[in-house]
Amino acid sequence: MTVPVSRGSLWSWQQWWPILVIVLPCLLLNLGGEPVRAALQYDRLAILHGQLWRIFTGNFVHLGWGHLGEDMAGYVLLCLLLEDLLPGWRCPLLVVVGSLGVGIGLLWGDPGLRWYVGVSGALNTLWIVGAMQLMRQRDWIGWVLAVFLVLKLMYEQLRGPLPWSVATTGGPVVVDAHLYGTFTGVILGLGVLVWSRRSKWVFPL
């Protein structure tokens, strides 16, 4: 029997905790201002001297409220768009894994980069995995999302950051973070596809 969904359920904890579990920590960290940002940001020299947590935590601190607002708006939109495909813990988990991918990618691929903050690169992990799952279901929206992301990455690699992102961020935009986040998502998406074909275990990403 199908139970009708009430309008009040749109604000249920079950729907919104995957959003809050990322948004609230980022908000709280931003309230700490510059001292918190300095202690947690991706800092290549500090990482090489043993502060390995910065590979991960640098993704969750931001340059200011404009930068934070832009990233959190992107995360909320992706969660709402993909909530049927990636319910519950899946969206925040992809952002967490994407954050590690971005940090490791920057450490390995951008030796000249001194510091980095922001979760936008990890959001690309969620973005491309969601697009790949929609494409797998033969949903044209997945192709639109994938093509738009590819065009965005190409523009950033050839021309630099999108003009409005520089204005909103209030500082330098590290476009390679978006690239590494997308690569991480492609690897995850392909891994899930291969696993689901070889196993009876269903992992509904």
Percent of the chain with pLDDT over 70: 87
CATH number for the domain that contains residue 97: 1.20.1540.10
pTM reported for the whole predicted model: 0.87
Whole-angstrom CA distances from 114 to 25, 140, 174 are 24, 40, 11
Alpha-carbon gap, residue 9 to 107, rounded angstroms: 43
Is 117 inside any structural domain? Answer: yes
Average pLDDT over residues 178-199: 84
201-204 own/partner pairs: CB under 8 Å, 24+ apart: 204/85, 204/86, 204/87, 204/90
Note down the domain range covering 47. Answer: 12-197
Is 65 inside any structural domain? Answer: yes
Radius of gyration of the chain (CA): 17
Per-residue pLDDT reduced to its tens digit, 21-50: 999 999 999 999 999 999 999 999 999 999
Terminal-to-terminal C-alpha distance of the chain: 25
Domain count, the chain: 1
Helix (H) / strand (E) containing 17: helix 13-31
Is 154 inside any structural domain? Answer: yes
Per-residue pLDDT reduced to its tens digit, 120-129: 999 999 999 9
Is 3 inside any structural domain? Answer: no
Whole-angstrom CA distances from 34 to 41, 42, 94, 121, 123 are 10, 14, 27, 21, 23
Which residue is it, tokens 């991960």?
56
Is 2 inside any structural domain? Answer: no
What's the confidence (pLDDT) of residue 6?
39
Confidence label for 8 from pLDDT (cuts 50, 70 and 90): very low
Is 5 inside any structural domain? Answer: no
**57, 102 in Cβ contact below 8 A?**
no
Is 205 inside any structural domain? Answer: no
Is 203 inside any structural domain? Answer: no
Average pLDDT over residues 167-183: 87
